[in-house]
């Protein structure tokens, strides 16, 4: 059995706590590795190494720091297939999707190459007589991030690329379900020239997370994961005086107006609802057709598309639509929620409950499900299912559809499909959700914009990546300086009498 390690101060270090978690191959259901779960003492060792290394790194000029990321981007491209293979084998997502996971992280590293530009301060010349004011952006020191299983490459990179570019040291506590790629990323950073101790990976669970939250040296904590844990980390971290940003769960609605191109809308829904087995925080899990006729047309277009989906392990080829979910517990939870939908009166028009894949009976595969006539009071509507389950809620009007998206407790992403510019514009302007797609089902902003939800989908005041990341990972210092007149008034050839 493969035993994974931590990555502390430039070395792979065996776990010493005696506690481990199983890492599965979700396609077969087999345990393929054991990952160590760090104790507080192991986290303390990483923090000490980070604190020792950070001042020198913070003093390296930003252009040189950026060059490390330039090289890192090259290495990611060199190792893309190797990384994607490791990612798919632990997560279960398809090979092209694993590459997308890496690519979307790579793009943030690429954006962070602009560190010299982004870290330029502000300057007021002549704020008063002989007085200038200038501000600088300085690193926080030791920073940390806690990441979810569903994007084991992208989300760590969204955190550590800006943290490092800004001159910080960064301690990553990745998901214990797919920890191999984060370890590989740390190695690549050091191959790219990052000094030891600036990136470290400490594997673990709540014990490691609490060690981060209660550590006095760590200045900031980034978190991405489910909302209850986001709330815990935000509350605890802030109470310890840390800078914290937490991104949580989602229930993303897609509104389909009667004038939408129905084929386009159905294709978009199938990709956004079932891609990555629905394990995306920007997945569409609720379709809201406006009007009975729209709903009937959409349903007729969706069913054959869903029934054609190819569900298989990533090794079965690039035409696989989605793979297994991450664990047996995740599968069980999804099927329990599907059953609650049936019990609470929704129409299960595509039933994937009996899905089984020959040769992979022990794998964590879940067939696709489509519910129609879902209502607001049902658990399948209120809860984030995080599986291949799409719910249709029929709305009578545009206002009712907008109200559904607005009243839901989550506010990560949403989309509207229409040919009407006025409806799209009104929707984008009024909806209380962080990321909006117009005829785009998964509106994940690119690296140079920022990513973040509203309501229960995010806690903290800055978004991930883009210009916000450079704010999150730096402190502003503002200097007011006054130089009284001196040597420019003429040369001084004698020692002045000091009285
Ligand atoms: P999770 O909350 O179970 O785990 C996230 C991290 O928190 C992991 O590193 C885990 O080890 C740690 N953790 C788990 N339980 C903990 C506890 N009790 N105390 C302290 N730490 C704990 O989430 P997950 O299942 O890995 O990921 C799926 C969730 O992440 C979904 O809800 C999804 O919507 C969300 N997500 C959100 C975004 C976003 O940007 N908003 C992006 C990706 C995923």
221-234 per-position pLDDT tens digit: 999 999 999 999 99
Are 23 and 11 contained in the same domain? yes
Residue-wise pLDDT for 321-342, tens only, equals: 999 999 999 999 999 999 999 9
Rounded average pLDDT over 463-489: 91
Q: Over pLDDT 90: what percentage of the chain?
A: 96
- Indicate if 281 and 404 belong to the same structural domain: yes
Summarised one tens digit per residue, pLDDT across range 368-396 is 999 999 999 999 999 999 999 999 999 99
Same structural domain, 288 and 419: yes
Beta bridge partner(s), residue 200:
171
In this prediction, residue 497 has a pLDDT band, given cuts at 50, 70 and 90, of low
Beta carbons within 8 Å of 141's beta carbon, 6+ residues apart: 51, 54, 58, 168, 169, 217, 219
Per-chain mean pLDDT for the chain = 97
Please give the Cα distance from 89 to 314 (Å, whole number): 8
Total domains in the chain come to 2
Judge whether 489 lies within some domain. no
Mean pLDDT value across residues 290-318: 97
Cα(138)–Cα(475) distance, integer angstroms: 5
Same domain, 261 and 232: no
pLDDT score at 484: 79
Contact 72, 63 (CB under 8 A): no
Residue to mutate (ligand 1; options 101, 145, 178, 226; most atoms within 8 A of CB):
226
Quick check: 150 and 281 in contact, CB under 8 A? yes
pLDDT, position 496:
60
Question: Does residue 295 contact residue 289 with C-beta atoms inside 8 Å?
Answer: yes
Three-state secondary structure call for residue 168: coil
Q: Say how many Å lie between the CA of residue 164 and the centre of ligand 1.
A: 23
Write the ipTM: 0.99
Ligand 1 pocket list (CB less than 6 A)? 146-151, 173, 175-176, 205-206, 209, 224-226, 229, 247-250, 281, 384, 386, 412, 453, 457
Q: How confident is the model at residue 409 (pLDDT cuts 50, 70, 90)?
A: very high
Q: CATH no. for residue 72?
A: 3.40.605.10
Domain that holds residue 267: 252-438
CA distance 289 to 20: 47
In total, the chain counts a number of residues equal to: 499
Mark whether 234 and 266 lie in a shared domain: no
402: tokens are 């907008």
Q: Which residues are catalytic?
A: 281
Is 399 within the bounds of a domain? yes
Average pLDDT over residues 448-468: 98
Can you give the C-alpha Rg of the chain in angstroms? 25
Q: Distance, CA 376 to ligand 1 centroid (Å)?
A: 25
Give the integer Cα–Cα distance in Å for 367 and 350: 9
pLDDT of 485? 73
Residues 231 and 355 in one domain: no
Query: How do the residues of the chain divide into helix, strand and coil, expressed in percent and rounded to 5?
Result: 40, 25, 35
The answer to whether residue 494 is domain-embedded is no
Range 182-193 average pLDDT: 98
Q: Does residue 7 form part of some domain?
A: yes
Tokens linked to 397 = 């009007």
Which positions ≥6 away from 453 have C-beta within 8 Å? Answer: 247, 248, 250, 410, 411, 412, 413, 433, 434, 435
Task: Ligand 1, residue 149: give the atom nearest the CA.
Answer: 26
CATH number of domain containing 359: 3.40.309.10
Is the same domain home to 216 and 312?
no
């Amino acid at each position: 059995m493969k035993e994974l390690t931590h990555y502390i101060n430039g070395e792979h270090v065996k776990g010493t706590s005696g506690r481990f978690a199983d890492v599965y191959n979700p396609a077969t259901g087999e345990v393929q590795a054991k990952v160590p779960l760090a104790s507080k003492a192991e986290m303390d060792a990483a923090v000490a190494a980070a604190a020792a290394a950070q001042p020198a790194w913070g003093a390296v000029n930003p252009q040189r720091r950026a060059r490390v990321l330039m090289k890192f981007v090259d290495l990611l491209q060199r190792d893309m297939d190797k990384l994607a293979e490791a990612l798919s084998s632990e997560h279960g997502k398809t090979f092209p999707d694993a590459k997308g996971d890496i690519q979307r992280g790579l793009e943030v590293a690429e954006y962070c190459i602009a560190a010299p530009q982004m870290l330029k301060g502000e300057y007021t010349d002549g704020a008063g007589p002989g007085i200038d004011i200038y501000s600088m952006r300085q690193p926080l020191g030791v920073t940390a991030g806690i990441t979810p299983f569903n994007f084991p490459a992208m989300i760590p990179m969204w955190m550590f690329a800006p943290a490092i570019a800004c001159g910080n040291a960064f301690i990553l506590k990745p998901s214990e379900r797919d920890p191999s790629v984060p370890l590989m990323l740390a190695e690549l950073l050091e191959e790219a020239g990052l000094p030891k101790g600036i990136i470290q990976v400490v594997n673990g669970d709540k014990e490691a997370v609490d060690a981060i939250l209660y550590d006095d040296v760590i200045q900031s904590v980034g978190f991405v994961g489910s909302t209850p844990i986001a709330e815990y980390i935000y509350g605890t971290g802030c109470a310890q005086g840390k800078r914290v940003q937490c991104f949580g769960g989602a229930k993303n609605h897609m509104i389909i107006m009667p004038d939408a191109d129905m084929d386009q809308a159905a294709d978009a829904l199938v990709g956004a609802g079932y891609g990555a087995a629905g394990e995306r925080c920007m997945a569409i899990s609720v379709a809201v057709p406006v009007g009975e006729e729209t709903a009937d047309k959409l349903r007729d277009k969706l069913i054959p598309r869903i029934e054609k989906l190819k569900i298989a392990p990533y090794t079965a080829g690039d035409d696989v639509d989605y793979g297994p979910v991450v664990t047996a517990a995740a599968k069980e939870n999804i099927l329990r929620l599907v059953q609650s939908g049936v019990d609470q009166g929704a129409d299960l028009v595509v039933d994937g409950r009996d899905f089984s894949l020959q040769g992979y009976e022990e794998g964590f595969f879940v067939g696709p499900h489509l519910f129609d006539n879902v209502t607001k009071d049902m658990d399948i509507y209120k809860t984030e299912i995080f599986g291949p389950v799409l719910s249709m809620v029929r709305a009578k009007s545009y206002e009712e559809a907008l109200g559904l998206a607005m009243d839901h407790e989550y506010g990560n992403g949403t989309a509207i499909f229409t040919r009407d510019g006025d409806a799209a514009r009104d929707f984008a302007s009024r909806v209380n959700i962080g990321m909006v797609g117009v005829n785009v089902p998964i509106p994940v902003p690119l690296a140079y914009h920022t990513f973040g939800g509203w309501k229960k989908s995010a806690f903290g005041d800055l978004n991930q990546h883009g210009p916000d990341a450079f704010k999150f990972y730096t402190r502003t210092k503002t200097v007011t300086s006054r130089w009284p007149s001196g040597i420019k008034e003429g040369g001084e050839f004698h020692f002045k009498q000091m009285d």
